[in-house]
């Protein structure tokens, strides 16, 4: 029985070490924005960063980009006013969706109000035509009586 307990304890320690390592990786990913780095089937380095697709480049391309990091940072700093942040893009997209929804609501309310108007016009025109028919039939019957 002590062997089973020792085995269970060793398994638990291994499991704990694995979970702690995963937790550390998740914390790093949250700080850096990079969730995983893999080597693809074609030999590219794929960096998963929370977007839909990873950034995948060969080693030489990564070397050139990483060596040019200062130039890229300087370019970003110089053009900061022209570069929307991801948060600003999300806000703009949300605003556009809300405006489109409002426009759709306006169109649907116009359609429903015009349908109501046209149906009320049809009702009034049909009731007036019924009145005209009734008037003509009563005038015809009165003219027949006078004959």
What pTM does this model have? 0.44
Give the least confident one: 32-36, 61-65, 110-114, 136-140: 136-140
Judged by DSSP in three states, 124 sits in: helix
pLDDT greater at residue 92 or residue 3: 92
Decide: 48 and 54 in contact? Cβ < 8 Å: yes
Residue 104: is its pLDDT beyond 70?
yes
Q: Quote the pLDDT of residue 6.
A: 66
Look up residue 59 and give its two tokens: 């080693």
Residue 1 — very low, low, confident or very high, per pLDDT cuts 50/70/90?
Answer: very low
Residue 78: is its pLDDT beyond 50?
yes
> What is the distance, to the nearest Å, from the Cα of residue 79 to the centroid of all Cα atoms in its chain?
28
> What is the distance, to the nearest Å, from the Cα of residue 86 to the centroid of all Cα atoms in its chain?
14
What single string gives the DSSP state of each residue in 49-96?
A: -SSSS-EEE-HHHHHHHHHTHHHHHHHHHHTGGGS--HHHHHHHHHHH
Taken as a whole, the chain contains a residue count of 147
For the chain, domain boundaries: 1-32
How many CB atoms lie under 10 A from the CB of residue 15?
A: 10
pLDDT greater at residue 49 or residue 133: 49
Average pLDDT over residues 46-71: 93
Residue 129: is its pLDDT beyond 60?
no
Compute the distance between CA of residue 38 and CA of residue 36 in angstroms, rounded to an integer: 7
């Amino acid at each position: 029985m002590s062997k089973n307990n020792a085995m269970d304890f060793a398994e638990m320690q291994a499991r704990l070490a694995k979970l702690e390592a995963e937790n550390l990786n998740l914390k790093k990913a949250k700080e850096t924005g990079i969730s995983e780095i893999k080597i693809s089937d074609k030999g590219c380095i794929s960096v998963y960063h929370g977007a839909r697709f990873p950034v995948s480049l060969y080693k030489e391309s990564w070397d050139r980009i990483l060596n040019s990091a200062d130039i890229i940072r300087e370019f970003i700093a110089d053009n900061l006013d022209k570069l929307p942040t991801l948060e600003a893009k999300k806000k703009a997209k949300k605003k556009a969706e809300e405006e489109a929804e409002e426009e759709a609501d306006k169109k649907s309310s116009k359609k429903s109000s015009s349908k109501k108007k046209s149906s009320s016009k049809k009702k009034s025109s049909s009731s007036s035509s019924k009145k005209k028919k009734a008037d003509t039939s009563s005038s015809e019957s009165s003219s027949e009586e006078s004959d």
